[in-house]
Amino acid sequence: ITITQSSQLTTSTFDYVIVGGGTAGLVIANRLTENPHVSVLVLEAGGSDQGIVAAEAPFLGPTLTPNTPFDWNYTVTPQASLNGRSFPYPRGHILGGSSSVNYMVHQVGTNEDWNRLAAVSGDPGWAWNNMRQYISKTEKFVPPIDGHNTTGQFIPSLHGFNGEVLCSLPGGNQTIDSRVIATTQQLAEFPFNQDTMGGDHSLLGVGWMQSTDGGGIRSSSSTSYLAQANSRPNLTVLINATVLKLIQTGTSGSLKAFRSVQFANTGATSVATCSGLRTVTARKEVILSAGSIGSTQILQLSGIGDAKKLASLKIPSTINNPNVGENLSDHPLLPNVFSVKGNLSFDGILRDPNQINNAVGQWISSRTGIFSNNVANHYGFARLPPSSTIFKTTHDPAAGPTSPHWEMVFANFWFNPTVALPATGSFMTIVTVVISPTSRGSITLASSNPFDKPLINPNFLSTDFDIFAMRESVKAIKRFLAAPAWSDYVIGPFGDAFSKAKTDAQIEKYIRGLATTIFHPVGTASMTSAKSSAGVVNPDLTVKGAAGLRVVDASVFPFVPSSHTQGPVYLLAERAADIIKAAA
């Protein structure tokens, strides 16, 4: 059952308390309550995702962030390598978490990502050979909304058809689709990739996007894992409940137990003025699934972090671990906008309120039309050539020899998150992304007030490798568009900065003035081997030095996967549920 008021709770003790009803949290909630004798409470700060058109119509997903009630509305600290710019850093503040507000691109990382995780953590259970099994538990591949023949657009044998989350191929033409595919035939540098999910199949090349939607509707952890389990009497999901901290409940040998959770109604600005302050306790475990930012913040507010830094905020230290909040790793994004001929781009529709209303109406009445489809139909991944000068000074940071260094995503409209659509013009955007970044940042508390936003510093493009890879991605997409397929369509780079970006120095200047995030923060509660004092969690996701406490969310990945991160989080959470069940 999902409830909205803490007064509806009939008990304060559950077998498990899950903090955060997001992507990972709702997977754990579903799997643990498969056993009717196990009781689970989920505490979620955000509200319901039901009845919100933008959370359902795939194309409208990007309107859910930033600066909305569905977003935590964080910003990054001024980024030293991006001309001191600060910009939004979206995270879902809604049931389903970021899976309810994200762009739904579906991938699971490369086999090398998972094998590296197994090597770093010393747990072979994280290797791809073992993780592969969870695809069939998460994925339910369904036909695209337009019912077209998908032969050759994905490899069915790699996929699951009976899992929880709906996945599908694009169900509408983006009008540049045939040009993208033709380019893969015209340029050897950019081969066609028949399946872009990753795992058993290489991510390298350009192919059809797979999205977590079905029937023209977003599929999130809420519409899938939770919807399937919500009627179980042993599951309670309390929304509008913001967790303030964990409370130590004793010791277990040398470990400190944290089985109590303090929370209050969402919406307050300080502990003194909050309402509904309450504590619940887990008989077995508390599972932190509040995401790369939320879980880190809660750990630090509970005294689990750098004792010196916490002392300066007058937070008593419980477990001194300076690694908490460090190692923040994210994929930087660059929206490269090109002017194009004609009026086939979507910009005409997107700047005309009448056409938008019609498209919303069509989506509401039949789940069809432009808003039933995701914002992109194609994307591709590539490696830097081995002869690249950067490898003379930098060890190759990719997850392995067949994992990508950078990504490109194609959208036939203006897709520049930080700049509004101009009043006239037709555009195409090729977003490029550094996929194997070496920059590392941090999340630190701004104050001891749990309602204050933490200081988020991803430290984007602060290493030679990252700026090199982004620079080469800009050159590569220009080569991509030099294919005959584009000769009668693309006019050229849009805007002064991009038009002038010709030499390496000019391209770097352009990048530093424009780059932002593709929303994939990980690493702030990194998994390391059980023997290691580096990191925050052990391979079984228990918090180092703690009893009764695990972290299960994107924060535990020590390296950002070589792909979009939602799919890796689903697989991680599925295995975590097995680990938790086995420990019970």
Ligand X SMILES: Cc1cc2nc3c(=O)[nH]c(=O)nc-3n(C[C@H](O)[C@H](O)[C@H](O)COP(=O)(O)OP(=O)(O)OC[C@H]3O[C@@H](n4cnc5c(N)ncnc54)[C@H](O)[C@@H]3O)c2cc1C
Using the rule CB under 6 A, which residue among 209, 411, 469, 554 binds ligand X?
A: 554
Residues 20-39 that bind ligand X (CB under 6 A): 20-25
Residue number with the shortest CB distance to ligand X?
22
Does 220 bind ligand X (CB under 6 A)? Our answer is no
Residue 133 phi/psi, 5° resolution? -60, -25
Using the rule CB under 6 A, which residue among 97, 163, 214, 454 binds ligand X?
A: 97
Residue placing its CB nearer to ligand X in the complex, 90 or 214: 90
Distance from C-alpha of 537 to C-alpha of 527, rounded to nearest angstrom: 5
Candidates 199-207, 276-284, 287-295, 418-426 — which segment interacts with ligand X by CB under 6 A?
Answer: 287-295
User: Are 230 and 29 spatial neighbours (Cβ–Cβ below 8 Å)?
Assistant: no
DSSP-derived secondary structure for 453-510: PPEEE--TT-SHHHHHHHHHHHHHHHHHHTSGGGTTTEEEE-SHHHHT--SHHHHHHH
Q: What is the CA radius of gyration of the chain?
A: 23
Can you give 223-251 as a three-state secondary structure string?
Answer: HHHHHHHCCCCCEEEECCEEEEEEECCEE
Residue placing its CB nearer to ligand X in the complex, 134 or 510: 134
H helix or E strand, kind and range, residue 347: helix 347-350
Any known ligand binding at 74?
no
User: Are 244 and 450 spatial neighbours (Cβ–Cβ below 8 Å)?
Assistant: yes
Any known ligand binding at 104?
yes
Q: Taking CB under 6 A as the rule, which mask of x and - marks residues 514-553 in contact with ligand X?
A: -----xx--------------------------------x
Using the rule CB under 6 A, which residue among 32, 41, 82, 105 binds ligand X?
A: 105
Does 139 bind ligand X (CB under 6 A)? Our answer is no
Using the rule CB under 6 A, which residue among 90, 172, 437, 535 binds ligand X?
A: 90
Cβ of residue 519: shortest distance to ligand X, in angstroms? 3
Any known ligand binding at 243?
yes
Calculate the alpha carbon distances from 405 to 275, 280, 396 in Å: 48, 45, 9
Any known ligand binding at 103?
yes
Q: Taking CB under 6 A as the rule, which mask of x and - marks residues 224-263 in contact with ligand X?
A: ------------------xx--------------------
DSSP-derived secondary structure for 311-338: HHTTPPPSEE-TTTT--BB--EEEEEEE
Residue placing its CB nearer to ligand X in the complex, 105 or 229: 105
Does 429 bind ligand X (CB under 6 A)? Our answer is no
Calculate the alpha carbon distances from 575 to 31, 317, 469, 508 in Å: 10, 31, 33, 41
Distance from C-alpha of 45 to C-alpha of 120, rounded to nearest angstrom: 33
Distance from C-alpha of 256 to C-alpha of 545, rounded to nearest angstrom: 6
Any known ligand binding at 102?
yes
Active site residues: 520, 564
Annotated binding-site members for FAD: 102-105, 243
Residues of this chain that interact with ligand X (CB under 6 A) are 19-25, 43-46, 65, 90-93, 97-99, 101-105, 242-243, 289-292, 294, 298, 519-520, 553-554, 564-567, 569
